[in-house]
Chains A and B, each alone.
Chain A
Amino acid sequence: MFDIVLFAVFPYVAVIIAVVVGLYRYFNDRFTYSSLSSQFLENRILFFGTVPWHYGVIIILSAHLFAFLVPVLWGDLIADQTRLYIMELTGLSLALMSIVGITILIARRFRNVRAKAVMSFMDWVLLFALLTQVILGFWTALVYRWGSDWYLHTAVPWLYSLLLLNPEIQHVTALPWEVKFHMLGGFLLVLLFPFTRLVHIVTYPLTYLWRPIQVVIWNRRVAK
């Protein structure tokens, strides 16, 4: 019963809240959509935190997403032993990188008075949620080897079943608790998304690559 709530209900709740509140916030209080950069207040330590954190976490997240979206391709990719080794090793190092990064970010927020001054309650919640999540992920990868493979046979079918509105929680309920916490942690972060600065992820300014370099806005006529 508890498993049903956690693995069949909670994910829906998290996603629905994320979408509804995220959209509501975007259309009604867009002013608050911001990465809330604190680089202006503290520059040096930030570099050693934010760069490894973002590169680490973004690549890992993309790998999660890629394996979920095209499991067959992912399966082919790791079918060869050398490639599997390389994959696991890369994953582990990236995870380590993000752990180091977020630890530095947290330490910075504690120790630097200026960086601390702009912290809100939700900022703290987010930082610790993320730290827990990457540690759990790293631990899973370290202790329960070849996750890049068994992810395809546990989490992926579970996620697809959720997507098809026919939750099959048996794919994941028998997994060790660390792994289960990591999966739930993912949805917890989805839940946190609209209430924290995580909203900055969806505002990634890709359009900068092709927009006209100068922006002129006219009241009445269309810009040339």
Chain B
Amino acid sequence: MDIRAQVSMVFHLDKCIGCHTCSVACKNIWTDRKGTEYMWWNNVETKPGTGYPTLWEDQEKYKGGWEKKGGELRLKLQGRLGALTNIFFNPYLPTVDDYYEPWTYDYENLFTAPEGDDQPTARAISMITGKHMEIEAGPNWDDDYGGSPVYASNDPNLEALTDDEREQMSEIERVVFFYLPRICNHCLNPGCVAACPAGAIYKRGEDGIVLLSQEKCRAWRMCISGCPYKKTYFNWSTGKSEKCILCYPRLESGQAPACFHSCVGRIRYLGVLLYDADQIKNAASVPNRDLVEAHRSIIQDPFDPQIIAAAKANGIPDGMIDAAQKSPVYKFVKEWRLALPLHPEFRTMPMLFYVPPMLPVLAKIKDGKYDNADVASKSLAPLLSSLERARLPLQYMASLFSAGNDEVVAASYRKLIAVRIYMRHKTVGDISEEEALEALRAGGTTAEEVEAIYQLTAKPTMEERFVVPPLAREVAIEQTIDPFTRKREGGFGFRHAPQRGG
């Protein structure tokens, strides 16, 4: 047993309103520099949709993540020798067109244009070349189904569906979508780390944050393909890859990452998970059906005295264990089994989990009228069966969150439905007690658990949502080098402006 701690995340998709506040908060802090304009370390995409960069989920195109070959887990991109021979040219690299070419506008023309018969315009100027350009795509071009024939209908997850299911999703009265906010998953078995020939990417032992050393990166650009989530980005100006750093400077001073802190829907939870690092390889190698269960099973109970002892033996400080016991992520992922990893079949063991979005209200237009007759619950049947009649086929959610195993997603949904029915029984009172109890049974849950889920979902305080462990990096540095010596020798961060080399 090799117990380690990981700062982990849960995004509750039911609460996301798709406002992109998170993305903007991140951009303002980290990616407003030259070469990073196109990067969105945090982005929010509409699902179904092709996402950012386009078709990132299609690993036949980008070769991200791992695959099992002859029983062995190996990078889909290439073997070790392959990395050294493909190094001159990476055949699976997304280019700027797969994201979008960043631009600004020629505002000056509005002031300096000579007088004429028509209004002057501010034409788009590329932020790469400085030349005029035609805008063909931009961030969230497909937001809320914009251009859906091009985007939504090319979603790789639709492959899991039957023709009927696909048709039903685009039927006009039943049309449905939800938002999927994405940041780096700070995986346990990261593809980016494994793919980097220079060994520039690493996982911090103490908290599991995956970082990319700007000093060691040599622009071999394999991480961009290696990460199946496309969450490392190439800075075309400095010739270095960059990625989400989970706002570690904020975490180290006790604050939640900027995207978490700013989230308007309060969908985000942050907390520590303890896991057994010895089991990573096995858990990442099980058949697709069992991936979610294997993932859950390497996460350890922070209250178990044996685990605590093993954690302490591994040098995990008490503060970290304490944080793990209070972790909202542990509750959502392990205790309640509601939150699921995104595309576990990529086998990187992502440590960002999603509570799947609840199903839209079950009304439809009948004879030109809004007909919600089966919703207004006289009996329980409509609500209980809402899973089977969901507008988003369960198979679609399974393709996203459980490597195709719809039983896993269904179990999560049944519990969420139980919460809905039970709380309605309690607060509105139009559902009888027997019905509420039946819902609890169907969801495999209890009244206390439902109350707890409701509490943490609907009314959590900031301290309950973000249980930031004491990372105390300055203390850690003290062990190896006196902070004042370090300050004198190393200063804070870069001694040279991070500029492109010759």
Which A residues are closer than 8 A to B by beta carbons?
Answer: 28-43, 46-47, 50-51, 54-55, 113-114, 116-118, 120, 122-123, 195-197, 199-200, 203-209, 211, 213-221, 223-224
Contacts and interface: CB of A to CB of B under 8 A. Distances in A.
Interface string B182-223: 000000011001100111011111100000001111111100
B237 interface: yes
Q: How large is the interface on B (under 10, 10 to 19, 20 to 34, 35 or more residues)?
A: 35 or more
A118 B236 contact: yes
A95 B45 CA distance: 49
Given A205-B198, A205-B218, A209-B81, A224 B480 contact: no
Q: Which applies to chain B's interface (DSSP): helix, strand, loop or mixed?
A: loop
Contacts of B217: 34
B236 A120 contact: no
Given A122-B502, A196-B502, A200-B218, A215 B89 contact: no
A216 B2 contact: no
Chain A CB within 10 A, most for which of B199, B218, B234: B218
B205 A43 contact: no
B218 A35 contact: yes
Nearest to B81: A209
Given A205-B198, A213-B194, A217-B202, A32 B218 contact: no
Interface stretch (B20-28, B152-160, B492-500): B492-500
Contact of A113 (B80, B88, B131, B502): B131
B95 A42 contact: yes
A160 B197 CA distance: 35
Interface stretch (B321-329, B355-363, B452-460, B471-479): B471-479
Contacts of A46: 89
Given A31-B501, A39-B93, A43-B93, A223 B80 contact: no
Contact of B205 (A197, A205, A207, A223): A223
Given A195-B502, A208-B199, 17 more contacts: A31-B215, A31-B494, A34-B240, A35-B239, A37-B234, A39-B95, A43-B95, A47-B89, A117-B128, A117-B129, A122-B502, A200-B218, A211-B199, A214-B203, A217-B202, A218-B204, A221-B315
B1 to A, nearest CB: 12
A36 B219 contact: yes
Interface in B77-124: 80-81, 83-84, 87-90, 93-96
Q: Which 6 A-B pairs have the closest CB atoms?
A: A32-B501, A218-B205, A205-B197, A36-B239, A215-B202, A219-B476
Contacts of A215: 193, 199, 201-203
Contacts of B198: 203, 205, 208
A35 to B, nearest CB: 5
Interface string B218-250: 111100100000000010111110000000000
Contacts of B477: 219
A211 to B, nearest CB: 6
Given A39-B221, A217-B203, A218-B206, A208 B234 contact: no
